[in-house]
């Protein structure tokens, strides 16, 4: 089953921005995420908000999804205008899931067109969709490119059949080079997603997956350590002793192998789990994910989708509800960000929009402490690092200790920047915990 939604405040009848007013200029970037919750099968390790046709039953039609998502886009545009958020062109659009390419390419084009109508796209805006290798053909990819998509991210995961079987992935690994070539011919930038640390995966298995990914000469690769989430089929198998998870040393060895191989092939890390090739002097990084890591604004479309706006004010009634007392005037309270999330089930999501109601299920206003913690947790993951003076309590002794332990770059620290070393990337979570005194 998919994870429960976060705890938060009830969303007013006017929507997630009811009682909230923006307070920043037009320079902050704005992106759109579109969640497509449909999958052919549910993979045993997946805890995303996804559904197969059998799980959905009636009342949540894939055929009607594009028009339902378009209703939320229209609602979003109206609510942003009412909250005095500056009108900005969209810098990136990302279709995730689920498997967005379970929908016809023409449906994805309809959703993208509605985003363009609501806000317009920046010149050179990045438009990405995720896809399973067995969910597209050459004509599908050509249709995407014609519609304005610029990038596709294929869920390769592994090149080894027994690893794919454990993950319950349905595609033939031999198809990867073919779909990559079709995408390139259509004019799309291509990324491959890999997973390491699957039960039963040897170091040689992982090396084979890395080599196959590099042989396609894509410009971007993401590699994620498998995390066994509670409530998934894989978690049950681990708990019952049916499969054995690799230990932390095994995953560290696989990360180091990948980092070295990617670097030697000309793809360099720009975020802990992402590597990109330089094209015309600039890394082919995923601009949409960079928007998250750098704290830009985004609106999430779809069931279970999350949204975030960075700064503004809300009425004191809401402030008292969340226990914030940093009053700016007698009637408003400053927020260091507002976040909200939609109802989870596609049936409930569609029903709300069809009745002209917001699909938002809950929201929260961030305190300065929460916003700072998130900025550190995200910013430190980037190869560009983060400014030491932006830390809430930049303790020189703690930072010197990180340098001595080989976790951060000493020269960068002397110039006022925290940059992770390879060892620091492997121990990033522990480093953040120590840095923030958690």
Average pLDDT across each block of 10 residues of the chain; the chain has 438 residues. List them in order. Answer: 65 85 75 90 56 58 91 96 88 94 96 98 97 95 98 96 89 94 98 94 97 98 81 62 75 97 97 95 93 94 94 60 45 78 92 94 89 90 92 89 96 95 95 85
Residues 173 and 161 sit within 8 Å (Cβ to Cβ): yes
Distance spanning both ends of the chain, measured CA to CA? 30
Last residue of a domain, one of 290, 318, 349: 290
Tokens of 249: 């040393």
Give domain status of residue 108, yes or no. yes
Query: In this structure, are 151 and 272 located in the same domain?
Result: yes
Give the C-alpha distances (Å, rounded to integers) separating 149 from 69, 78, 130. Answer: 17, 25, 11
Q: Give the span between the Cα atoms of 51 and 38, in whole angstroms.
A: 5
**Residue 346 located in a structural domain:** no
pLDDT at 325: 45
Domain that holds residue 202: 20-290
Q: Are residues 266 and 375 in the same domain?
A: no
Q: What CATH number does residue 163 fall under?
A: 3.20.20.70
Position 357 in a domain: no
Residue 423 domain-assigned (yes or no): yes
Last residue of some domain: 260, 290, 320? 290
- Residues 184, 89 share a domain: yes
So what's the pLDDT on residue 395?
87
pLDDT score recorded for residue 38 = 87
Q: Does residue 198 fall inside a structural domain?
A: yes
* pTM of this structure: 0.90
> Are 123 and 213 found together in one domain?
yes
Tell me whether residue 14 is in a domain: no
How many Cβ atoms from other residues are within 10 Å of residue 204's Cβ?
8
- Sequential DSSP letters for 84-104: TPPP--EEEEEEEES-GGGS-
How much is the pLDDT for 321?
A: 46
Whether 325 maps to a domain, the answer reads: no
Same domain, 380 and 279: no
Q: Are residues 138 and 257 in the same domain?
A: yes
Tell me which of 290, 320, 341 is where a domain ends. 290
| pLDDT computed for residue 320 by the predictor | 40
Domain identity same for 123 and 267: yes
Residues 189 and 286 in one domain: yes
Number of domains in the chain: 2
């Amino acid at each position: 089953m998919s994870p429960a939604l976060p705890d938060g405040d009830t969303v007013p009848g006017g929507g997630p921005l009811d009682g909230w007013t923006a307070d920043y200029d037009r320079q902050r970037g704005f992106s759109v995420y579109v969640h497509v919750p449909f999958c052919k099968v549910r993979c045993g390790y997946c805890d995303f908000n996804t559904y197969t046709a059998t799980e959905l039953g009636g009342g949540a039609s894939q055929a009607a999804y594009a028009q339902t998502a378009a209703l939320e886009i229209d609602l979003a545009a109206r609510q942003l205008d009412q909250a005095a958020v500056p009108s900005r062109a969209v810098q990136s659009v990302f279709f995730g899931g689920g498997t967005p390419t379970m929908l016809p390419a023409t449906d994805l084009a309809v959703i993208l067109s509605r985003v363009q109508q609501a806000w317009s796209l920046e010149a050179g805006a990045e438009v990405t969709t995720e896809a399973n290798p067995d969910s597209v053909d050459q004509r599908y990819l050509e249709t995407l490119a014609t519609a304005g998509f610029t990038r596709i991210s294929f869920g390769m995961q592994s090149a080894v059949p027994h690893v794919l079987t454990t993950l319950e992935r349905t595609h033939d690994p031999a198809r990867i080079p073919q779909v990559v070539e079709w995408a390139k011919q259509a004019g799309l930038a291509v990324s491959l997603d890999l997973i390491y640390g699957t039960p039963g995966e040897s170091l040689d298995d992982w090396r084979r997956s890395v080599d196959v990914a590099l042989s396609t000469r894509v410009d971007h690769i993401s590699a994620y350590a498998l995390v066994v989430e509670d409530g998934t089929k894989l978690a049950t198998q681990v708990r019952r002793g049916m499969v054995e998870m690799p230990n932390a040393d095994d995953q560290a060895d696989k990360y180091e192998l990948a980092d070295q191989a990617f670097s030697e092939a000309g793809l360099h890390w720009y975020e802990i789990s992402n590597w990109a090739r330089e094209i015309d002097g600039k890394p082919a990084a995923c601009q949409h994910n960079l928007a998250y890591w750098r704290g830009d604004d985004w609106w999430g479309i779809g069931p279970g989708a999350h949204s975030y706006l960075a700064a503004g004010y809300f009425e004191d009634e809401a402030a008292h509800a969340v226990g914030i007392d940093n009053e700016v005037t007698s009637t408003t309270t400053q927020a260091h960000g507002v976040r909200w999330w939609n109802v989870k089930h596609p049936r409930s999501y569609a029903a709300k929009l069809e009745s002209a109601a917001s699909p938002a299920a809950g929201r929260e206003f961030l305190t300065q402490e929460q916003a700072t913690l998130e900025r550190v947790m995200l910013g430190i993951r980037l190869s560009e690092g983060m400014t030491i003076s932006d830390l809430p309590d930049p303790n020189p002794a703690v930072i010197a200790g990180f340098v001595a332990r080989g976790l951060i770059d000493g020269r960068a620290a002397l110039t006022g920047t925290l940059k992770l070393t390879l060892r620091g990337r492997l121990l990033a979570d522990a480093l953040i915990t120590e840095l923030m005194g958690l």
